[in-house]
Amino acid sequence: MSVSIVTVNYNSGACLRRMADSALPQMGPADSLVVVDNASMDDSFERLAPLAGKITAISNMDNRGFARAVNQGVAAIASDYILLLNPDAVLADGALRALESFMAERPDAGVAGGKVLEPDGSLQLACRRGFPSPWVAFCRLSGLSFVFPRSKLLAGYNMTYLDENEISEVDAVSGSFMMIRRSAFDSLEGFDEDYFLYAEDLDFCYRAKAAGMKVYYYPGAEATHEKGVCAASAPGFAKREFYRTMWTFHSKHYKRKTFQPLNWLIWAAANALALAAPALTRLSAKSGRRRVKAKRIKRLLGKK
């Protein structure tokens, strides 16, 4: 059995090399690491030069988006399993083989995701998710899922009612640390390239489950993810894409099941948020800088 790690890079700085350094020692002779660079403007891709011969590097002249770059990377390999790993993620010792073994023991699994941790060691909630149906999206946007995190009815998006240390069958896992059976990837014809950034992992898991495959969350394999490093180079664009792709996902999988006036409302909300995204991002950044400044002043004054 073999595993190919596919990483899509865009301006990830020093993170990309740290990812590679965590993955290469865990790989066997039949495994491979493919890095697809989407026209980065920093030196992140060049930092891999000392690893020539140990990795497969693909350099694009333009930013092709995540889904298209994943398909490009997978086309360059011939392995039994594909591990999608973000450039700002670091594998814990033994994580690669642990996730591969789990998949091998579960022939019904088309996809499995490991336990993804924040840099502070807490669970990154997006590593296991429910599909954003109109109800699930409403509960999240209204804050109900945060008020009632243990409710299966109200906390369906991040599935916070599940034990983070137990194996669970879920709707979807995060593309930041996601293993896919190669036969499943091929049968579903890869990632949907209508998605440029965000939701392509949700879409793939949705199609996998619709085809009768199972999607698992497996906490026995861990990775730490410094979320948002690539998006940080263009935060307004990234936020806009998030809202745009939520509508794309809805229109592909829920539009025909939804009362038409509600579709209009969802379309209007998604587009309004997408248009407002750059301004909202700037306001959020200013607010963050104010909080940092306030903390510094408190420290100077000797206050906690």
pLDDT band at 270 (very low <50, low <70, confident <90, very high): confident
Which two structure tokens, joined as six digits, stand for 268? 């209007």
Count of helices and strands (H, E) across the chain:
9, 11
pLDDT for the residue numbered 238:
75
Q: pTM of the entire structure?
A: 0.87
Give the Cα separation of 67 and 49 in Å (integer).
25
Contacts of 292 (CB under 8 A, 6+ apart): none
Compute the average pLDDT of residues 253-279.
84
Contacts of 208 (CB under 8 A, 6+ apart): 110, 111, 184, 188, 215
User: pLDDT tens for residues 79-99?
Assistant: 999 999 999 999 999 999 999
Q: In percent, how much of the chain has pLDDT > 70?
A: 88
CA dihedral 199, 204, 209, 215 (to 10 degrees): -80
Compute the average pLDDT of residues 214-240.
81
Cα separations in angstroms, 297 against 21, 283, 285, 289? 38, 21, 19, 12
Yes or no: say if 123 and 116 are a contact pair by the CB < 8 Å rule.
yes
19: pLDDT strictly greater than 70:
yes
Taken in order 269, 275, 279, 282, is the CA torsion positive or negative? positive
Give the Cα separation of 45 and 17 in Å (integer).
8
Domain extents in the chain: 3-132+161-229, 233-299
pLDDT for the residue numbered 244:
87
pLDDT for the residue numbered 297:
44
User: Looking at domain 3-132+161-229, does it have CATH number 3.30.70.270?
Assistant: no
pLDDT for the residue numbered 161:
98
300 vs 65, which has greater pLDDT?
A: 65
Mean pLDDT (the chain) is 90
